[in-house]
């Protein structure tokens, strides 16, 4: 765990607010899913589902990733974060812009409010990107992990750019009529270019460190990097200029091969581990197993055109649910139990080392509750996917209730970690 700490680490005020905001967003998200359960049965392209999608991607996923990345930059780049003041300012801008943006979707204010809130999100994302890029410019280490991360930042910038274009297209209609094409580009820039690639880059550092595994084949990572980005660039060019040609499956296969290479690397790390799986790594390892599901659903989407398979819209929704809640959220739940306890321990108890008996980072939260949360959350995932697959609203609602319970436990543990205090017993 000491690998998360360097003398260049940012202050607690930079990192911790992101975890607090993301935890609250996760609770709000779970409640909104329950309220709008019937929308999941109808279609993926309704205002409420789009609101939930962006809350998941921005308020929950991106918020917590940004907080984690601020802590990891000194480790991965071996340099200080360029500007802590910019990071703190950008946190509040991000919170305000996401809240207004989600409101505009939920209440269908697509013409009146969304274009302007999209500008705020665009500015917030680019300010964050500038902070990371400026940090990278002074980096002492630019290895494959750093390359994944900085490339993911580029795709996040492209995601926000296409999101802004689509938001203004609702009002001014300056793009062509195939708005769904731009939605696909926007979504895959975010899901593959930003989320997947960023998680890959961070996991290169964290997974072997937490499992204590060595002698891994870095060539697999190099192949993953080039195949993933080549496939995504080719997908983009195909969708942008040909609106989906016969070569589309070939480009997607490049991405599938890249992911297979990366999963092989993670499996090697798991196989060579010297440490048993704790609750954080259980979530993480399961996330990589579940990654198979969105790969299956995405392949079906490519092989089954709309005119041949009327249920394709449900497959698209299953694709999104399996990647956001199956892979990304399992990964986030796991890694927050590994990172935030240590970050708090570092700021609160490190100064007492050698002078007093201090708690271990894992003692800052309730491990039994975290273990219960693991099973409740993944039961939720099964119920939600089954409900969508079988078109049963009661299963979707049951899944939403289980997600609310998960969010309650997660918030309890996060606030216990951040605001709770353990006794320090000084040496005699």
Same domain membership, residue 331 and residue 230: no
pLDDT tens readout for residues 137-174: 988 888 899 999 999 999 999 999 999 999 898 888 88
Closest among 196, 207, 83, 72 to 146, alpha carbons compared? 72
Q: What is the CA radius of gyration of the chain?
A: 21
Please give the mean pLDDT across all residues of the chain.
89
pLDDT at 178 over 70: no
Same domain flag for 133 and 149:
no
Best-predicted range by mean pLDDT (111-115, 242-246, 282-286): 282-286
Strand partners, 425: 357
Q: Which of 228, 378, 385, 225 is nearest to 293 (CA)?
A: 385
What is the sign of the dihedral through the CA atoms of 59, 289, 4 and 347?
Answer: positive
Give per-residue pLDDT as tens, 197-216: 999 999 998 899 889 888 78
**Position 1 confidence tier, pLDDT thresholds 50, 70, 90:** very low
- Residue 44 predicted with pLDDT over 70: no
- For residues 265-292, average pLDDT: 91
309: pLDDT strictly greater than 70? no
Give per-residue pLDDT as tens, 342-367.
888 888 888 877 777 888 888 899 99
The verdict on 85 and 36 lying in the same domain is yes
CA distance 313 to 319: 10
Q: pLDDT-based confidence at 321, cuts 50/70/90?
A: very high
Residue 3 pLDDT > 60:
no
- What is the Cα 284 distance to its own chain's centre? 12
Q: Measured between alpha carbons, how far is 428 from 422 in angstroms, rounded to an integer?
A: 19
| Together in a domain, 190 and 210 | yes
The model's pTM: 0.91
3-state secondary structure the chain: CHHHCCCCCCCHHHHHHHHHHHHHHHHHHHHHHHHCHHHHHHCCCCHHHHHHHHHHHHHHHHHHHHHHHHHHHHHHCCCCCCCHHHHHHHHHHHHHHHHHHHHHHHCCCCCCCHHHHHHHHHHHHHHHHHHHHHHHHCCCCCCHHHHHHHHHHHHHHHHHHHHHHHHHHHHHCCCCCCHHHHHHHHHHHHHHHHHHHHHHHHHHHHHHHHHCCCCCCCHHHHHHHHHHHHHHHHHHHHHHHHCCCCCHHHHHHHHHHHHHHHHHHHHHHHHCCCCCCCHHHHHHHHHHHHCHHHHHHHHHHHHCCCCCCCCHHHHHHHHHHHHHHHHHHHHHHHHHHHHHHHHHHHHHCHHHECCEECCCHHHHCCHHHHHHHHHHHHHHHHHHHHHHHHCCHHHHHHHHHHHHHHHHHHHHHHHHHHHCCCCCEECC
For tokens 């296409």, the residue is: 162
Q: Quote the percentage of the chain above a pLDDT of 90.
A: 60
Per the model's pLDDT, the better-predicted residue between 207 and 3 turns out to be 207
pLDDT band (50, 70, 90) for residue 428: low
For residues 97 and 164, give the distance between their C-alpha atoms in angstroms, rounded to a whole number. Answer: 13
Same domain, residue pair 20 and 46: yes
> Domain for residue 305, yes or no?
no
Tell me, yes or no, whether 99 and 177 share the same domain. no
Alpha-carbon torsion, ordered 143, 149, 155, 159, to 10 deg: 180
Q: How far is CA 309 from CA 302, 305, 312, in A?
A: 11, 6, 6
Q: 148 vs 43, which has greater pLDDT?
A: 148
Residue 283 and residue 425 in one domain: yes
Which pLDDT does position 307 carry in this prediction? 47
Q: Quick one: average pLDDT of 325-344? A: 92
For residue 334, what pLDDT is reported? 92
Instruction: Judge whether residue 319 has pLDDT over 80.
Output: yes
173 occurs within a structural domain: yes
Predicted confidence at residue 293, as pLDDT, reads: 93
The whole domain housing 376 covers 1-142+277-298+311-428
Band (pLDDT 50/70/90 cuts) for residue 427 is low
For residue 381, is pLDDT > 80?
Answer: yes
Task: Grade residue 6 by pLDDT with cuts at 50, 70 and 90.
Answer: low
Q: What are the residues facing 356 on neighbouring strands? A: 353, 426
pLDDT at 110: 81
Of 91-95, 114-118, 296-300, least confident by mean pLDDT is: 296-300
Tokens describing residue 37: 């359960």
Residues 159 and 106 in one domain: no
Q: Are 10 and 132 in contact (CB under 8 A)?
A: no
Residues 166 and 220 in one domain: yes
- For the chain, what is the domain count? 2
The answer to whether residue 112 is domain-embedded is: yes
Considering the domain architecture, whether residues 291 and 347 belong to the same structural domain is answered as yes
């Amino acid at each position: 765990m000491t690998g998360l700490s360097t003398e260049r680490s940012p202050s607690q005020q930079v990192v911790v607010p992101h975890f607090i905001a993301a935890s609250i967003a996760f609770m709000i998200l779970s409640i909104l899913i329950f309220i709008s359960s019937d929308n999941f049965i109808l279609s993926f392209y309704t205002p409420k589902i789009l609101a939930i999608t962006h809350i998941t991607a921005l308020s929950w996923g991106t918020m917590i990733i940004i907080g984690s990345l601020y802590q990891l930059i000194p480790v991965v780049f071996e340099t200080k974060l360029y500007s802590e003041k910019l990071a703190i300012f950008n946190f509040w801008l991000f919170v305000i812009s996401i809240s207004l943006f989600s409101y505009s979707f939920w209440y269908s204010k697509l013409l009146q409010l969304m274009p302007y809130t999209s500008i705020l999100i665009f500015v917030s994302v680019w300010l964050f990107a500038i902070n990371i890029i400026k940090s990278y410019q002074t980096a002492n280490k630019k290895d494959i992990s750093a390359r994944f991360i900085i490339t993911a930042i580029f795709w996040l910038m492209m995601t926000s750019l296409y999101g802004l274009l689509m938001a203004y297209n609702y009002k001014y209609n300056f793009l062509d009529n195939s708005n769904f094409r731009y939605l696909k580009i926007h979504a895959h820039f975010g899901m593959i270019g930003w989320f997947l690639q960023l998680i890959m880059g961070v996991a290169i550092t964290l997974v072997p460190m937490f499992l204590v595994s060595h002698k891994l084949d870095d060539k697999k990572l190099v192949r993953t990097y080039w195949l993933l980005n080549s496939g995504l660039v080719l997908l983009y060019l195909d969708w942008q200029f040909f609106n989906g040609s016969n070569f589309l499956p070939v480009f997607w296969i490049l991405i599938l091969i890249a992911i297979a290479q990366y999963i092989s690397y993670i499996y090697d790390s798991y196989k060579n581990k010297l440490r048993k799986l704790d609750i954080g790594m259980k979530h993480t390892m399961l996330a990589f197993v579940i990654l198979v599901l969105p790969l299956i659903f995405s392949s079906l989407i490519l092989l089954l055109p709309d005119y041949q398979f009327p249920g394709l819209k449900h497959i698209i929704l299953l694709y999104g649910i399996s990647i956001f809640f199956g892979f990304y959220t399992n990964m986030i739940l796991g890694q927050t139990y590994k990172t935030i306890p240590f970050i708090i321990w570092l700021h609160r108890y490190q100064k007492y080392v050698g002078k007093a008996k201090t708690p271990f980072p894992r003692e800052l939260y309730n491990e039994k509750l975290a273990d219960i949360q693991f099973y409740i959350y993944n039961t939720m995932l099964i119920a939600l996917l089954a409900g969508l697959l079988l078109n049963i609203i009661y299963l979707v609602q049951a899944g939403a209730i289980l997600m609310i319970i998960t969010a309650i436990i997660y918030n309890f543990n996060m606030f216990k970690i951040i605001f709770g205090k353990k006794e320090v017993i000084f040496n005699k």
